[in-house]
Amino acid sequence: MIATTDSRQAPQSFESADAYFDAFGLNQAARDFINRPLRLLIDGRWTDASDGGTAPIVEPSTAQQIGTIAMATTEDLELAVDAARRAFDGGEWSRITPLERESLLRRLADLIEDNAEEFIALETLDVGKPLAEAELDIQGTIDTYRYFAGWASKVSGRSGQASSLPGNYVTYTRKEPVGVIGVIVPWNFPLQTLAWKLGAALAVGCTTVIKPPEITSLTTLRFAELVAEAGIPDGVVNVLTGKGSKVGAALAAHPRIDKVTFTGSTATGTSVGHAALDNMTRMTLELGGKSAVLVFDDCDIEKTVEEVALGIFSNAGQICDAGSRLYVQDSIYDEFMAKLVEHTRTWAMGPGLDPESAIGPVVSESQLKTVTGFIAKGVEEGATLLCGGNTAEGPGFYVEPTIFGDCTNDMTIVRDEIFGPVLVAGRFSSQDQALELANDSEYGLAATIYSNNLNVVHELSQGLKVGSVYVNAQSSIDPAMPFGGYKKSGFGRDLGTEQLDFVTETKTVWITLP
Ligand code: NAD
């Protein structure tokens, strides 16, 4: 690969997946789970794919196969949609009292918490992320179900009054569950992203057909076991592991679902959106990002250096709102970048199960190729490789935390989402220029400002064309606050009270009095 001056220690490699599990004492429940046949969940029954198809599960730190999952067919999809339809149209889920739904969702959250160690281990095995990061994901998942459980009994319409129509009316609105929701989720935060979709949907009484990411389905399958254990009726949650281009595409185009909620790349989201629109299926699209980070010269440099590194290297940069485009004010650019590079070299790269690892591998061989392709492109386009750039020798899909300096907005590595541990950095001289550079992107998911100047912070927060603005920290996420994108980062919102509008239809009732 590309030579840099880094002398980073190579991550430990293992002869086999079992040797890796033994070295770090993998949670026994997780070990037992991956050794079980992992099937589809349709109408409360675990079943093989109709054609018996399976696919290997490849662990990213060792590049070894650790199990197999079933690969659903479009016939399986028909059965799952039938089940979800029955559970919605004639089933009890939307008819039980909201407080009963709330208590079932709380029980589900409690069960995830009871099995948290197993979930953390499974998410680490599947995605390659360090255990400490998986722990945050599982806690975020539990919090999301608890937050939306509380909304089950709070969602309601409003009474209104005609403003210009002569006559005497009683008018009110009803909030009704949208129906059967097709849920399609990406591989970077599989269980937590699922919670972002399911929490609100289940709270208001919708039923679901879930298409987890084909390369990271483990935690979704374990979660689905707990759905039954919590007492949620059969058919409310159906899970079809399988290929996105086949079962995912067929789900988005299915005429008998009422809504599709998708998180993933802008390219796939666009085709999902077209397919859904053909049936006038409602949709939420949470898509890609290339989020700008604006560092002003009045910031706390030491703290900002650490935050900026966290914002791009957490989860090996595979975060939709990763702060992947850095712009530093001219007056501190050299000092800031030198400190950032020095700090980045302290990030220990290693396998997910090793508690010493700060950054794990990327998720797959294909993602490794994509990321290293972008690194080569950056060098070719004349950006300065300040650190990183290498892959590790031996098995495992490792890419060093990488920083490019002297980047300009016309470069591919600045325009495209890399979705790996690669930060591209450039300079700005004024607040106006910072805003112009930040908004010069087809994406609009998030942006971060590091400054203690109130005017700068407020003016930029108004001017940035993004769904989330973070100030003096990055990627702050909470179930109570909405998340979503402007521009090609999608539309609709997950989380917060705003999401409730995307899982319900609003019906207006007019009663004309004599
Ligand atoms: P992806 O678009 O390749 O896949 C996402 C999901 O769609 C997977 O389950 C996949 O199997 C399925 N899929 C693939 N082809 C399909 C098709 N033709 N029709 C229907 N479904 C199909 O994305 P990915 O590589 O899994 O995830 C990375 C992307 O997700 C990045 O672009 C990232 O920014 C984005 N993302 C966005 C958010 C957000 O909230 N905005 C959050 C996380 C990830």
Listed residue (370, 430, 418, 428) closest to 397, CA to CA: 370
| 33 C-beta closer than 6 A to ligand 1 | no
d(CA 384, CA 402): 11
Distance 65 CA to ligand 1 centre (A): 23
CB of 188 sitting under 6 A from ligand 1: yes
Residue 11: which pLDDT band, with cuts at 50, 70 and 90?
confident
Ligand 1 atom closest to 264 (CA): 30
**How close is the Cα of 141 to the center of ligand 1, in Å?**
19
Encoded amino acid at 453, one letter: N
Cα–Cα distance, 353 to 121 (Å, whole number): 8
Q: Is the CB of 445 under 6 A from ligand 1?
A: yes
Q: Verify whether ligand 1 is closer than 6 Å to residue 220 (CB atom).
A: no
Residue 6: which pLDDT band, with cuts at 50, 70 and 90? low
Beta strands in 330-485 (DSSP E): 384-387, 402-405, 422-428, 443-444, 446-450, 468-471
Token pair in block for residue 435: 């805003």
Mean pLDDT, range 202-206, rounded to an integer: 98
417 lines ligand 1 (CB under 6 A): yes
Q: Which of the four pLDDT bands, split at 50, 70 and 90, describes residue 1? A: very low
- Closest ligand 1 atom to residue 249 Cα is 19
| pLDDT value of residue 394 | 77
Give the nearest ligand 1 atom to 212 CA: 9
267 CA closest ligand 1 atom index: 2
**φ, ψ for residue 298, nearest 5 deg:** -95, 5
Q: Is the pLDDT of residue 8 over 80?
A: no
H/E/C letters for each residue in 248-311?
A: HHHHHCCCCCCEEEEECCHHHHHHHHHHHHHCCCEEEEECCCCCEEEECCCCCHHHHHHHHHHH
pLDDT, one tens digit per residue, over 256-302 is 999 999 999 999 999 999 999 999 999 999 999 999 999 999 999 99
Is the CB of residue 245 below 6 angstroms from any atom belonging to ligand 1?
yes
Average pLDDT, the chain: 96
Pairwise CA distance, residues 473 & 450, whole Å: 8
464 lines ligand 1 (CB under 6 A): no
Q: What is the DSSP letter of 51?
A: T
Burial environment of residue 73 by CB neighbours within 10 A (0 to 12, 13 to 18, 19 or more): buried
β strands within 38-197, DSSP E: 40-42, 45-47, 54-59, 64-70, 159-160, 168-177, 180-184
356-360 — which CB contacts under 8 Å span 24+ positions?
A: 357/11, 357/130, 358/130, 358/313, 359/130, 359/313, 359/316, 359/401, 359/421, 360/60, 360/61, 360/124, 360/127, 360/128, 360/129, 360/130, 360/316
Closest CA to 76 of 47, 54, 55, 56: 47
Say if strands 54-59 and 64-70 run parallel, antiparallel, or are unpaired.
Answer: antiparallel
HSE (side-chain half, CA atoms, 13 Å) at 452: 7
Given the residues 286, 307, 400, 417, the one annotated as active site: 286
CB distance 263 to ligand 1 below 6 Å: yes
What is the whole-number distance in angstroms between the Cα of residue 341 and the centre of ligand 1?
31
Angle between the N-to-C axes of helices 190-204 and 98-114, in degrees from 0 to 180, rounded to the nearest 10: 160
- pLDDT (0 to 100) of residue 9: 64
Residue with tokens 């992107």: 441
446 lines ligand 1 (CB under 6 A): no
Q: Classify residue 231 as left (phi > 0), alpha (psi -120 to 50) or beta.
A: left
Respond yes or no: is residue 442 known to be catalytic.
no
CA distance readout (Å), 346 to 327, 358, 384: 22, 9, 20
Which protein residue has the closest C-alpha to ligand 1 atom 26? Answer: 186
Whether residue 59 has pLDDT greater than 80:
yes
Q: Give the mean pLDDT of 199-222.
A: 98
Q: Which two tokens stand for residue 428?
A: 């700005």
pLDDT at 450: 98
User: Ligand 1 centre and the CA of 21: distance in Å?
Assistant: 29
212 pLDDT above the threshold of 50: yes
What distance, in Å, lies between the first and last C-alpha atoms of the chain?
A: 82
According to DSSP, residue 499 is labeled G
Atom of ligand 1 nearest to the CA of 196: 40
Best residue among 188, 220, 362 to mutate for probing ligand 1's pocket (most ligand atoms within 8 Å of CB) is 188
CA of 265 to the centre of ligand 1 (A): 4
pLDDT of residue 469: 98
pLDDT class of 377 with cuts at 50, 70, 90: very high
Reduce the DSSP state of residue 399 to 3 states and report it.
strand
pLDDT digits (tens, 9 = 90+) for 471-495: 999 889 999 999 999 999 999 999 9
Average pLDDT over residues 128-152: 98
Q: Closest residue (by CA) to atom 39 of ligand 1?
A: 286
Q: What are phi and psi of 277, to 5 degrees?
A: -65, -30
Report H helices in 128-263. 131-151, 190-204, 218-230, 249-252
What pLDDT does residue 4 have? 43
Strands 259-263 and 180-184, sheet pairing: parallel
Q: Whose CA is nearest to atom 43 of ligand 1?
A: 320
Cα(137) to centroid of ligand 1, in Å? 18
Q: How far is the CA of 119 from the centre of ligand 1 (A)?
A: 22
Q: Is 336 in the pocket of ligand 1 (CB under 6 A)?
A: no
Mean pLDDT of 414-423: 98
- Tell me the pairing of strands 237-239 and 443-444: unpaired
Distance CA 496, CA 514 (A): 41
Residue 252 Cβ contacting ligand 1 at under 6 Å:
yes
Q: How far is the CA of 421 from the centre of ligand 1 (A)?
A: 18
165's tokens = 């129509």
Give the atom of ligand 1 at the shortest distance from the alpha carbon of 288: 34
Neighbour-count burial of 44, counting CB atoms closer than 10 A to its CB (0-12 exposed, 13-18 middle, 19+ buried):
middle
DSSP symbol at 55: E
pLDDT recorded at residue 277: 97
Q: How far does residue 380's CA lie from ligand 1's centre (Å)?
A: 28
286 lines ligand 1 (CB under 6 A): yes
Per-residue confidence (pLDDT) for residue 10, from 0 to 100: 72
pLDDT of residue 94: 85
d(CA 204, CA 492): 17
Asked if residue 288 has its Cβ within 6 Å of ligand 1, the reply is yes
Measure the CA–CA gap between 165 and 454, rounded to whole angstroms: 47
Domains and CATH numbers, the chain: 18-287+492-505 (3.40.605.10), 292-480 (3.40.309.10)
Taking CA atoms only, the protein residue closest to ligand 1 atom 9 is 213
